[in-house]
Structures are given as structure tokens and as C-alpha cells.
Amino acid sequence: MNDTWLLILYIVVGIAVIGSLLMVFLRTSRNRTKYTDTRDANDPAPGGTLLEDRPGTTAETTPTPGSEDLLTPESAGEAVSIERPEPPAGRLQRLRARLARSNNSLGKGLLALLSSDKIDESVWDEIEETLLLADIGTEPTMQLVDTLRERVKVMGSRTQDEVRAMLREELVRLVDPGMDRSLAVERHGELPAVVMVVGVNGVGKTTTVGKLARVLVAEDKDVLLGAADTFRAAAAEQLATWGARVGVPTVKSDVDGADPASVAFEAVKAGIEQEVDVVMIDTAGRLQNKVGLMDELGKVKRVIEKQTQVDEVLLVLDATTGQNGLNQAKVFSEVVNITGIVLTKLDGTAKGGIVVAIQKSMGVPVKLIGLGEGADDLAPFDAEQFVDAILN
């Protein structure tokens, strides 16, 4: 009898010990958001990185004791209504009026000039000037003018429709419909796809990450954002707001000027743990002539690659800055391998030809274009639709 009581006592004590060990384990693993190892030789001490959780979920509204590092104060306690973003298919069609309006002189101007009864040298000069003003670039302009001269000669007399068809064909060829413009946003095995967004100050990186998150959510992807722009104080908040609108969590630092590589690392780590499809990393604006900042960007990428590959590095260029974008693209591509261009602010410039110049000089496709400040004003780029928009 005594032996039976002793056995029961052992079992009860055993269960109690296992139970408390389990609770300690659960609490520490919930708090494991801070990365403490050395990631790169010049790593600063790790700062607190916050994971802003999905708005409207129970986890967000009822923080568990000891998990306060996981939640931002502003996200706790409020249920945010989540927007349903517009599907990306057909967006360029919807936004074509903006493109047409700002690039009126390119499309309509060329059509008018080429439809003249007699195209003399002064008309060819004007055609050349129109193309150069649209930032198509010297070499592509010369090539196009030569081809058009040849075709006009062969055509002899021509109707407006024939001119339009010829110009469309040549412009589409120049914009290159054969380039692969798909975004690498598919999970590979157990790991999420990682997209980094880079560029100089103020070109629209944070906005682009926010808009792209909406595109991906509309395509039923599970997304997580990383606010590695730790330089501009408001950038992390701005990004988290974009994310919250579509129910996407954001990893950010609670330390001003924190190590961006650290935040990127934590974001990817959280993305792997949460089994999301895509992790998108916003980076700080950096001038291409600041060597230290460019090195820092290389480091952000290297640190991410300690966990998984970076699938897309999108360089954001402001179309209104014209040819200067080419220089930026060259320097950025020396530090990180650019896989695609996002051309923003095409709604406010007549320099749509920069699409041609950038692709020709970089060999990298324009994958997305920004056509306004609205949340769904980012469209997948399509060569034919682009040309149609500027010709109509």
C-alpha cells in the first residue's frame, strides 16, 4: 500500500516538474525576437526589434505577459478594419489615362510628325528631339529614327492608321516584350521568397513596398514586411501603416538608427517561423556616391543570405529624375544584383522613354510602374499596354 502512495507521489511531482519546464520554454521562445549572435564583423549590439502583429487578431489585442516586445503599443487594443486591395490584373489599363496625359507629346507628337505629307529633314530633327526629350536615350533614339526613315521610305504614301501601326510596332520592339517581368515571389521549399527594395532618397521605396504588399495580398499571398529603413524616423511607422491596412505584420526596431541588417535578419527569421510566402524588406534611401551607405546595403543582403536567398532586388527609380536614374542604377547594381526596376511617378512626367533607356543600359527589366500616390496606383509593367497608352 505504502509503495502505491509513493508511486502516485512520484507521478504527481514528475508532472509538476515537466509542466513548469514547459511553461518556461514557451515563455522564452515567445521572447526570442532578439538576435544575439554576431552577424557580420562590424555589427553593433542588437537593438530591440519589434514584430507588429496582424491587426484585428486576438494576439494583437491581448498581449501575453512577457511578450510585450512582440507588440507595438499602438497596435494593441484596436481592431483595424482590413482593406481588400484591387487585383493587379488590368491596372495598367485603368491607369493608362495618366500615362497618356503626361506622355502626350511623345505619343501624339510622334504620330502627328510621322503623318505629315512630306517628312523633310526638319521633321526628322523634330522626331529625334521628341524622342530625346522623352529620355529614350541617344543610341536607342538614333536606331529608332533610322528604322523609321527606312520604313517611311518604303511605305511611300501612308494613312494615319498605317503610321500608327508602324510606330506601335517599333516602339513595342524598343520596349522589348520578350523580357521576363515576372516577380520571384514563390516560396522555395520551407522558405519564403525575399524581396529587397532599394534606391536613393525619396524615390518612393516605402510607398512601393506598401503598394506591392497590397498586390501580393490581392494574389492571396501571405506577406511580412521588414522596416530596414532605420534612418528616416517615420519610415518604419509609414511601412507598418501600409501593412496594417491589408493585415500584414511588420518587423521593425524600437531603437532609433538601429542596424538595418539586424532588422532585415529578424524580419526574414520571423517570415520563416511564421511560414509566410513573401518577406519584403524596405531599405533606407542612400545616395549612390556615399560609399559607406552602399557598403551597408551590401551587408543587409549578405546578412539575409545567412538564412535564405534574396529572390528579388527591386531598384526604385523616380521617372522624373530622368537620365540621373541610369547613374543610380549602375552604382546600385555594383553592390547588389538588381533583378528588376520599379519606375515611380510616371504619372507626373513626359519622360516615359526612360523605360527604354534603363532597360537598354542595364539589361534589367522594368517590372512595375508607379502611376500615382493612391494605394493601388502601382501596376505590373507590360510593353504593349505601355506603348498603347502613350499612343492613344
Instruction: Write down the least CB distance from residue 91 to ligand GTP, Å.
Output: 12
- Residue 52 or residue 347: which is nearer to ligand GTP going by CB? 347
Instruction: Write down the least CB distance from residue 138 to ligand GTP, Å.
Output: 26
Give the single-character DSSP code of 47: P
Using CB under 6 A as the binding rule, the residues of this chain from 312 to 351 that contact ligand GTP are: 344-345, 347-348
How far is the C-alpha of 107 from the C-alpha of 390, rounded, in Å? 5
| Cβ count within 10 A of residue 187 | 16
The C-alpha cell of 339 is what? 533583378
Nearest 5°: phi and psi at 196? -105, 140
Q: Does 370 bind ligand GTP (CB under 6 A)?
A: yes
- Residue 63 or residue 348: which is nearer to ligand GTP going by CB? 348
For residue 313, list its beta bridge partners. 196
Is 72 known to sit in a ligand binding site?
no
The C-alpha cell of 303 is what? 546578412
Helix axes 91-102, 383-391, angle to 10 degrees: 40
Instruction: Write down the least CB distance from residue 297 to ligand GTP, Å.
Output: 12
Q: Which of 137, 77, 147, 143 has the alpha carbon at shortest distance from 352?
A: 137
Instruction: Write down the least CB distance from residue 54 to ligand GTP, Å.
Output: 22
How far is the C-alpha of 332 from the C-alpha of 45, rounded, in Å? 27
Instruction: Write down the least CB distance from residue 169 to ligand GTP, Å.
Output: 28
Q: Does 14 bind ligand GTP (CB under 6 A)?
A: no
Q: Does 371 bind ligand GTP (CB under 6 A)?
A: yes
Is 345 known to sit in a ligand binding site?
yes
For residue 251, list its beta bridge partners. 51, 226
Helix (H) / strand (E) containing 198: strand 193-198
- Residue 113 or residue 332: which is nearer to ligand GTP going by CB? 332
Is 347 known to sit in a ligand binding site?
yes
- Binding residues for ligand GTP, total number by CB under 6 A: 22
- Residue 250 or residue 344: which is nearer to ligand GTP going by CB? 344
The C-alpha cell of 147 is what? 528604322
Instruction: Write down the least CB distance from residue 348 to ligand GTP, Å.
Output: 5
The C-alpha cell of 64 is what? 501575453
Checking 61-68 for CB contacts under 8 A at 24+ apart, the result is: 64/30, 66/27, 66/30, 66/31, 67/30, 67/31
Question: Could you say which of 53, 60, 135, 229 contacts ligand GTP (CB under 6 A)?
Answer: 229
Is 286 known to sit in a ligand binding site?
yes
Question: Could you say which of 204, 271, 340, 353 contacts ligand GTP (CB under 6 A)?
Answer: 204
Question: Could you say which of 91, 96, 168, 205 contacts ligand GTP (CB under 6 A)?
Answer: 205
How far is the C-alpha of 290 from the C-alpha of 218, rounded, in Å? 37
Residues at the interface with ligand GTP (CB under 6 A): 199, 201-207, 229, 232, 235, 284-285, 344-345, 347-348, 370-373, 377
Residues belonging to the binding site for GTP are 199-206, 282-286, 344-347
State the binding site: 199-206, 282-286, 344-347
